Structure formats: structure tokens, C-alpha cells
Amino acid sequence: SIPFAGGQGSKRSSSISPRAFPNQSRQPKFWNGLITVTTGASFSAPRTSDCFTHNIQDHGEASIAPTLTRRTHYIRRKSIHCPPRFHWMEKQLPGQRKRQREEQTTMSDSSATSNTNSNATTPCSKYCDPQAAVEAARVADKVCRRMSRTWRILDRKREEAVPCIFRHELVLGKLLGQGGFSNVYEISELDLCGISAVAYDQDGKQRRERPNAGDDRVQYQIRARNFLSKHCKRETTGTARYAVKFLKREVMADSRKFVVGAADLAGEARLLSSLEHPNIVKMRGVCAEGVAGFASGLEGGYFIIMDR
């Protein structure tokens, strides 16, 4: 264990080194030998941690408490992020909220019955390991950040222009195909809810909340979401125009495949969002929670919407 500042301890570290935390405003808080990191949609665990206890909520909000060993590491914020600068919040109708609460209650009961020793309070699917879900989200975010640094083909403006859709807004149709890691379903309908945007500063602090108005990006997102909902089916044939792709249950049940599949799907989403070519399938939407949706452990926690 690491002795805390002001306490008696070994000669190696009698206090927390200032170099470990270059920005004092971002220091994690210490309680009883645990580091607890709480952010709007981000977390990053030190490499020397040997176990995790987590409490993940919807839309990427997470708190991770890794136990410390002999070394202190600086923990970066925003290692798992939602769409750029905006955390999309829902404004649903009373009936929609009721149905969602009933669904979460049912899934929580089934999860508690299947695994009574789990510390997770998230309504994770019974075939998904909660720790594997957290690791998959972390690795997927790491891949996306590495692509941002090394891939010049990525276009930030085009990525921000991709409509953000929530998981419960999708109404799936028949299964179109299966791949090595993912399934593809047609989208028969998009049941959209109202949205508002909460803007954050660079340090993660909330600046303002402007429901359904204000920023140009918010207005563009509203128009883009409405366009997808209106043109979900072709006018001539009445068939579905869009398809959704997300990881298979069998992949999520295997911890190693889950991590690999999450990284591949997140990287594919970033690449397709920046490309526009007649011979390449066009990406039409992405999960509003970002790669943090993997941490929910739910089927379809992270998805991409493409032309069928």
C-alpha cells in the first residue's frame, strides 16, 4: 500500500509526488487506499491495478475504483468519451420513460439471478462479463485516439456531422447477415425522442445546458436525426433503407473476442465516418453514447448505422 501525504511510511514514497499529478485540479481523491475516478464519460485505470470494482450507468457515466499497488500513476481524464464536446441527454415521453424503466428493471432482475456474486449494478446482459465490457470500452477508445494521432485521412468535421442515435430508438427488422464479430439487421423504424445538449469545457466541467436550441451542432444533429427517421423506408418499394451493425452475443460472451470486436467496430466507425465514395458503403449514424456504450455490456450497446 502507498502511504498518503502527511503519514509515516517507507523512504520510497512518504507522500504523493507532485510530478505524478502535473495538473493539481485533476488529482483523483484518495479514500482508504482506493483511487476513485468519476467523470462525465471517461475513465482510465493505472497499469498496476490488480482488480476493478465498477458502477456503470447509461450514456457512458462510470466510476472506477482500482486498488493501488506500489506505484502511483497519473490518471488521464477523457480516456473514454461521448461524441465531441456534447453529452446527449434524453427528453422522452412519459410512456417511453415507463417502458425503459420496466426494461431496465427486468434486465437487472435477470442479471442478479444469474450472478449473485457480481458487484456490478449495471443491467448487463447475462452472457457478458462486466469486467470484459469495461476493458472492451477502454481498448476501443485507445484505438480511436491512436487513429486520431496517426491517420491523416480522418476528417473531424465529417465525424461530428454523423447523426447520434440512442439504442432504444432503434426498431429492428429481419437479420440481414452475420460476420465474424457482428450481426447486421435492417432498421424498420426510428422512434426518436427529444434531445438537449450539455456543453463541457476542455477540463470536463459543465458550462451550460440549452434544451433543443443554442449551438449550431445541436441544431444540425436534430435535423440529421429527423432526416433519418423520415427516410427510414424507401417511398417506392417500402423496404428498409438503413441497416444497423453491432457485436454478436457469442462474441460478447468471450472476453478476448469482445475486446477485439469492440476495437474493430469502433475503428470501422471512425474510418467510415470520414470517407465518402460511391464504391464504399456510407455511414448514416452512430451510437450516441460513443465507445462508452461497450461498457454497458448490453447487446447493441455500441452500433453503427449504414445504407442497406
For the chain, domain boundaries: 86-307
The pLDDT, as a whole number, for residue 194 is 65
Question: Which tens digit of pLDDT belongs to each residue from 137-161?
Answer: 999 999 999 998 888 888 888 888 8
Contacts of 260 (CB under 8 A, 6+ apart): 181
If you average pLDDT over each of 30-39, 60-69, 255-264, which comes out highest? Answer: 255-264
158 phi/psi in degrees, rounded to 5: -70, -35
147 phi/psi in degrees, rounded to 5: -65, -35
67 phi/psi in degrees, rounded to 5: -75, 140
Q: Are 79 and 138 in contact (CB under 8 A)?
A: yes
Transcribe 138-165 into DSSP letters. Answer: HHHHHHHHHHHHH-TT--HHHHHHSPEE
Does the reported pTM lie above 0.75?
A: no
Higher pLDDT pick, 52 / 124: 124
Q: Are 300 and 167 in contact (CB under 8 A)?
A: yes
- Which has the closest alpha carbon to 144: 8, 255, 270? 270
Question: Which tens digit of pLDDT belongs to each residue from 44-94?
Answer: 333 333 333 333 333 333 333 333 333 333 333 333 433 433 333 334 444
Residue 76 DSSP symbol: P
Topology of the domain comprising 86-307:
Phosphorylase Kinase; domain 1 (3.30.200)
